[in-house]
Structure 1
Amino acid sequence: MRQIILDTETTGLEPSQGHRIIEFAALEMVDRKLTGRHLHLYMHPERAIDPDAQRVHGISLEFLEGKPRFADVAAEISDFIADGELIIHNAPFDIGFMNAEFERAGLPMTAMQCAGVIDTLVMARDQFPGKRNSLDALCDRFDVDRSNRTVHGALIDCELLAEVYLWMTRGQESLAMDVEQEENGLETLELLNYERKPIPVLRASEDELAEHAQYLDALDKSVKGVCVWRQLEAGGQA
């Protein structure tokens, strides 16, 4: 299965108010393994960047001078995501901006170009109801190193999200199992690098054995015969 980890940075919060995408990043993952193929682009928004947004991602209009417009790279983005399943944290935000940009460029909406969308924010809320489920919070929860993330950036956020998604969807992989196909078509589970540790055996002390014998004597007296435990110890039938 081909999946695309995707993130964007923008000039503001609302595409309906004319805000634009200024950074796009996507990582390709096939069969739960990153292939190394990715697409990372900066775009000039042809408008100002809101100060609040700039404080989040650190991208200035001066930095974007000379960068292509979205229309100039729309086909490249479309080709990269084509037929892939998109994995996005808070998908409605990014999809809303992508749709607005594709519409300006005369291209189909995102849903018509990809094979589906997975929203990891929705997944996280289902798995951890009532808890913080931002990307930062999930990185902390799964012990994903985010020390290189000083500001929100589309590329580094994709790298972090890829690790978080794999942790959230590990399932039986957390038991270090691998599924192999046999020639007869049946699946077998093979334990990977799993070494069973010896189970410690604690022997009863003399005092504990004496106390146990007194307890069995009391049981014998209560049943006016031989209690079940002593019959089992003697190899008899209960």
Structure 2
Amino acid sequence: MRQIVLDTETTGLEVSQGHRIIEIGCVEMENRQLTGRHFHRYINPERDIDAGAIEVHGITATFLADKPVFSAVAKDFIDFVDGAELIIHNAPFDIGFLDSELSRWDASALPLAQRCDITDTLIMARSRHPGQRNSLDALCGRYGVDNSSRELHGALLDAEILADVYLTMTGGQTALALGGNDDDNQGRARVRGLRRLPADRVRLPVIQPSDEELAAHEGQLDSIAAAGAEPLWRQANRGS
């Protein structure tokens, strides 16, 4: 199953007021594993950016002046997401902006909902945690996802963080801290900050036992059996 975790940054809050996308960030997952593939573009919106928006993401018109316009990246974006499940926090916001940009690029372009399945993690979080704050930062705190590098919003960074939140929220604890003071007052283990291993990391070698070691192991099992109890190792192997 191919999933794309997606986020955007924009010139303002309302697409109906002509605001535009200035950054798209996507990370790819296959079978709930990050593949290392991503799509990331800054985009010249060809308009001013609201001061309030700059306070959120820190992206200025000066920085974007030499960046491509949306029409120059549209096909690459569609090729990357087409047919995947899109995972987005507050999906109507991002989808509204993306569909608006796509229709500017090509009036006959299909809406994203006709190209992809869309999962809104905000709706998912509200169903799991009714009456609580369910912003991305709040979910990071709730699920123990490290967002310490998130001083400002950024589409690619937020997509990476959302991927960790989504995997934890939908798959249970992925890294438990079971000892010491790592549980809360109700005895539940807390999830430590997730750390993704690089795809190109050095793989640990699998060392097979020698014939002598196998013989010694069987001898130890025989000694346990002679004492009147079948070794658990043999029980497990028989069951498999």
1:118-129 matches, cutoff 5 A? 118-129=119-130
1:16-31 matches, cutoff 5 A? 16-31=16-31
- 1:173 positional shift: 7.1
**CA-atom RMSD, angstroms?**
1.4
8 Å Cα contact 2:168-2:174 kept in structure 1: no
- 1:108 positional shift: 1.6
> Which runs of 5 or more residues in structure 1 are unaligned?
176-238
Partner of 1:81: 81
Task: Provide the C-alpha distance between the structure 2 equivalents of 1:33 and 1:68, rounded to a whole number of angstroms.
Answer: 31
1:143 aligns to 2:141 (yes or no): no
Which amino acid in the other structure matches residue 138 of structure 2?
A
- 1:111 positional shift: 1.2
Task: Provide the C-alpha distance between the structure 1 equivalents of 2:141 and 2:122, rounded to a whole number of angstroms.
Answer: 15
1:193-204 matches, cutoff 5 A? none
- 1:16 positional shift: 1.1
Partner of 2:54: 54
SS state at 2:37 partner = strand
Partner of 2:183: none
Task: Provide the C-alpha distance between the structure 1 equivalents of 2:102 and 2:52, rounded to a whole number of angstroms.
Answer: 25
Partner of 1:12: 12
Task: Provide the C-alpha distance between the structure 2 equivalents of 1:172 and 1:34, rounded to a whole number of angstroms.
Answer: 17
SS state at 2:16 partner = helix
SS state at 1:104 partner = helix
Which amino acid in the other structure matches residue 69 of structure 2?
R
- 1:174 positional shift: 8.5
Q: Deviations over 1:43-77 (max 9, x none)?
A: 00000000001100000000001100001100010
Q: 1:109 is matched with which residue: 105, 108, 111?
A: 111
> Which runs of 5 or more residues in structure 2 are unaligned?
177-240
Task: Provide the C-alpha distance between the structure 2 equivalents of 1:57 and 1:169, rounded to a whole number of angstroms.
Answer: 28
Which amino acid in the other structure matches residue 137 of structure 1?
A
Task: Provide the C-alpha distance between the structure 1 equivalents of 2:110 and 2:73, rounded to a whole number of angstroms.
Answer: 15
Moved over 4 A (4+): 171-175
- 1:23 positional shift: 0.2
- 1:113 positional shift: 1.9
1:142-221 matches, cutoff 5 A? 142-171=143-172
Task: Provide the C-alpha distance between the structure 1 equivalents of 2:160 and 2:60, rounded to a whole number of angstroms.
Answer: 22
Task: Provide the C-alpha distance between the structure 2 equivalents of 1:79 and 1:41, rounded to a whole number of angstroms.
Answer: 14
Tell which structure's C-alpha radius of gyration is larger.
Answer: 1
Which amino acid in the other structure matches residue 61 of structure 1?
A
Task: Provide the C-alpha distance between the structure 2 equivalents of 1:29 and 1:10, rounded to a whole number of angstroms.
Answer: 25
Partner of 1:70: 70
Which amino acid in the other structure matches residue 115 of structure 2?
Q
- 1:31 positional shift: 0.2
> How many equivalent residue pairs?
174
Change beyond 3 A, Cα 1:28–1:99: same
Q: Deviations over 1:107-155 (max 9, x none)?
A: 22111222x1000000000000000000000000011111111100001
Which structure is richer in relative contact order (CA contacts within 8 A, separation 6 or more)?
2
Partner of 2:41: 41
Task: Provide the C-alpha distance between the structure 2 equivalents of 1:76 and 1:36, rounded to a whole number of angstroms.
Answer: 17
- 1:91 positional shift: 0.2
Task: Provide the C-alpha distance between the structure 2 equivalents of 1:36 and 1:167, rounded to a whole number of angstroms.
Answer: 18
Which amino acid in the other structure matches residue 138 of structure 1?
L
Q: TM-score, normalised by structure 1?
A: 0.71
Task: Provide the C-alpha distance between the structure 2 equivalents of 1:62 and 1:171, rounded to a whole number of angstroms.
Answer: 43
Which amino acid in the other structure matches residue 123 of structure 2?
V
Task: Provide the C-alpha distance between the structure 2 equivalents of 1:43 and 1:123, rounded to a whole number of angstroms.
Answer: 30
